[in-house]
Amino acid sequence: MSAANVRPRSKVAALSLPPGTRGPLRIAAVLTVAAFIPFVYSGYTVSELTLVIAYAVATLGLNLLIGYGGQISLGHGAFFAIGAYLTAVLLSHNVVPVIATIPLTGVASFIAGYLFGLPALRLRGIYLGLVTLTLAVAVTPLVSRFTITGGVDGLTVNQPQAPTWLGLSQVQFVYLLCLAVAAVLFIGAGRLVRSEVGRSVVALNDNELTAGAVGVNVTRTKTRLFAWSAMYAGIGGSLYVFAVGFVSPDSFTLTLSVWFLAAVVVGGRRSIAGAIIGGLAIEFLPVYAAKVDEALTGAIYGAALIVCIYVMPDGVVGAARRMKAAASVTPGAFKRRAGRLEQRLP
């Protein structure tokens, strides 16, 4: 059934594009809109959205692990914190130029994820969850103890400065910088998922034994996925530091790891776009909850999470996919398919 044989009857289908361009065009559209945001909205909204980008990148990492890999991690806040603290320490000592902190953080988080994953990934399900939980809880006491990480007071760092020839304000520059990094990571994730590694991962997720039987190196694939996932979280932490300019032990509690998990579920598993929804949820759900009633913020976003799961058990993206699938079964299409079927019957 090649693309050439399909005869589009409806008007929308007539806009058929050459294969392989739909995806990139969608990405281009999203990026264009996103890139214009800092010039349209106030500095306050732009700084909020910069944080959304940072959270979305980390959520994407977790989504790769959970949605595609079928693993679980209650400790991704820890990798986010590692990335954030590493970037903060590098920036506060002026060791490397700002832009270099991202690849450095990426590599360090990848290694950290790999080292942690090697022993941890022998576990599954709730046990893997528990062992990653210990990681999340261990972060705060450890960074509070050492002076290089600023101890209990934390570290204030200089945020990336906009080069004067660009003529941007600092808030705009930081936003666009984070957007650029995030774009690379998101597109990279898309490619990763469709690559051989990605297919191995999904195969592994579906059935570990058969995957192993057909030659997938189970241990290596799982550990590499975990490492990639940790890398994304670490770079998310880096972007967080660019956006906020401050790290402290209070910024990275267990609650953060829990929020990343909730973001994956709310956004939609096995969806790269879902990570963006997740990032938006992490940033804005508490803010809107506080607007409703400051004294009940926790209750409101707790209830929101519960309602979200009722109404959209497979996340926002999942619900959107279902709606699209339902919409494609229009009466016209149904009749056409029925007609073609009639032709084939004797």
Site for another protein (CB under 8 A): which residue of 2, 5, 32, 147? 32
> 269 or 336: whose CB is closer to another protein?
269
User: Taking CB under 8 A as the rule, does residue 203 contact another protein?
Assistant: no
> 111 or 168: whose CB is closer to another protein?
168
Q: What's the min distance (Å) between Cβ of 18 and another protein?
A: 10
Rounded distance between C-alpha atoms, residue 191 and residue 241, angstroms: 27
Write the CB contacts of 272 (distance below 8 Å, at least 6 apart in sequence): 60, 63, 186, 189, 190, 193
Site for another protein (CB under 8 A): which residue of 92, 111, 114, 144? 144
Report the relative pairing of strands 155-156 and 246-247 from DSSP bridges: antiparallel
Radius of gyration of the chain (CA): 22
Site for another protein (CB under 8 A): which residue of 10, 125, 206, 322? 125
> 47 or 149: whose CB is closer to another protein?
47
How many of the chain's residues bind another protein (CB under 8 A)?
Answer: 96
Rounded distance between C-alpha atoms, residue 197 and residue 227, angstroms: 13
User: Taking CB under 8 A as the rule, does residue 92 contact another protein?
Assistant: no
Identify the helix (H) or strand (E) that includes residue 272. none
User: Taking CB under 8 A as the rule, does residue 156 contact another protein?
Assistant: yes
Q: What is the 3-state secondary structure (H, E, C) of 106-173?
A: HHHHHHHHHHHHHHHCCCCHHHHHHHHHHHHHHHHHHHHHCHHHCCCCCEECCCCCCCHHHCCCHHHH
**Residue 80 corresponds to which tokens in the numbers above?**
């986010």
Site for another protein (CB under 8 A): which residue of 49, 131, 185, 231? 131
The owner of tokens 């057909």 is 214
User: Taking CB under 8 A as the rule, does residue 229 contact another protein?
Assistant: no
Residue type, 58: A
Q: What's the min distance (Å) between Cβ of 110 and another protein?
A: 21
Q: What's the min distance (Å) between Cβ of 48 and another protein?
A: 6
170 and 161 Cβ atoms separated by less than 8 Å: yes
Q: What's the min distance (Å) between Cβ of 225 and another protein?
A: 16
> 172 or 271: whose CB is closer to another protein?
172
User: Taking CB under 8 A as the rule, does residue 129 contact another protein?
Assistant: yes
- Of residues 237 through 276, those in contact with another protein by CB under 8 A are 240, 243-246, 248, 250-251, 253-255, 258, 261-262, 265
Site for another protein (CB under 8 A): which residue of 6, 36, 220, 322? 36
Write the CB contacts of 331 (distance below 8 Å, at least 6 apart in sequence): none
User: Taking CB under 8 A as the rule, does residue 310 contact another protein?
Assistant: yes
